[in-house]
Chains A and B, each alone.
Chain A
């Protein structure tokens, strides 16, 4: 676990440093400028989908789907980050109690 954690930390630091060090021509290349901002959109969406609708290798619909629906409402109401997360957590916990 530690090795993965430290390699990930080093990679993220190198990327930040690269931005300050690489020649501007590389980073201002149209393909780079267009593609890089799309990566977080796709990855975050894939994370939302897989972590809501799967357990291990199985696709499932459980209380997490309801929690996500509550989170979507909270986001649409422009709730702060912590409120979105807390609302989803509370929804899942309450539904499991019932």
Chain B
């Protein structure tokens, strides 16, 4: 189990390298980049914030997108709350580690004690290597002259695609993804940067709620 945790930690550390690089290329300082990995600690939201800022959007549009992407972490709590019982301070500490990978590792175990160990081992391994990777990626990019010449503006869409791909294994998510992309592009010329993303989030939320009722 510890070996699994380390394996995932190393994989996410490599992915943190690209976060550190993209964030610095987007214009965030070294300190801001590291603060995101330390304090936000949820990959897709971090990429979204720096992606919106890098594309010329306001940091608030980026922050709203990051929070919307972070909403899925609240659902993971349902499956973890039985595993992570304890006092409020323990829950408050555990909450920081509630992300895709720790949830997947914890719910794959049979007994609550094994789940607990998997959760903490994965969480600590990822947290350590995620922050280390971010720092190295940010430092390396800091030294580069012109990120755009080096193709760094093509990195965020590829990162979002890699995060999206595992969620597209059925026809409905595929249709939602295509419609979301088209809608965002259609409203892009008329709205402030980053706002088309919020329009798309609102529409998909309406779709989800209305769909469930019928």
A contact set with B: CB distance below 8 Å? 1-9, 11-13, 15-22, 24, 27-28, 30-54, 56-59, 63-64, 67-68, 71-72, 74-75, 80-82, 84-94, 96
Contact = CB atoms under 8 A, between A and B. Distances in A.
Nearest to B164: A44
Given A19-B80, A41-B176, A71-B161, A92 B75 contact: no
* Interface size grouping (class) on chain B: 35 or more
Interface string B56-75: 10111011011111111111
Contacts of A20: 77, 80-81, 84, 91, 94-95, 98
Interface stretch (B1-9, B104-112, B124-132, B148-156): B148-156
Given A35-B212, A51-B55, A64-B157, 11 more contacts: A4-B63, A27-B75, A36-B75, A41-B176, A42-B179, A43-B180, A44-B167, A45-B180, A47-B48, A50-B197, A88-B154
B122 interface: no
Nearest to B194: A50
B143 to A, nearest CB: 16
A87 to B, nearest CB: 7
Contact of B159 (A22, A31, A49, A85): A85
B5 to A, nearest CB: 18
A34 B11 CA distance: 30
B interface, by DSSP: helix, strand, loop or mixed? helix
Contacts of B196: 46, 50
B168 A19 contact: no
A63 B156 CA distance: 14
A41 B157 contact: no
A2 B32 contact: yes
B151 A8 contact: no
Nearest to B200: A46
Given A45-B177, A82-B15, A51 B188 contact: no
User: Which 6 A-B pairs rank lowest in CB-CB distance, beginning with the nearest?
Assistant: A19-B77, A35-B208, A4-B59, A92-B151, A93-B151, A49-B181
A38 B157 contact: no
A1 to B, nearest CB: 5
Contacts of A72: 161
B91 A21 contact: yes
Contact of B161 (A32, A35, A84): A84
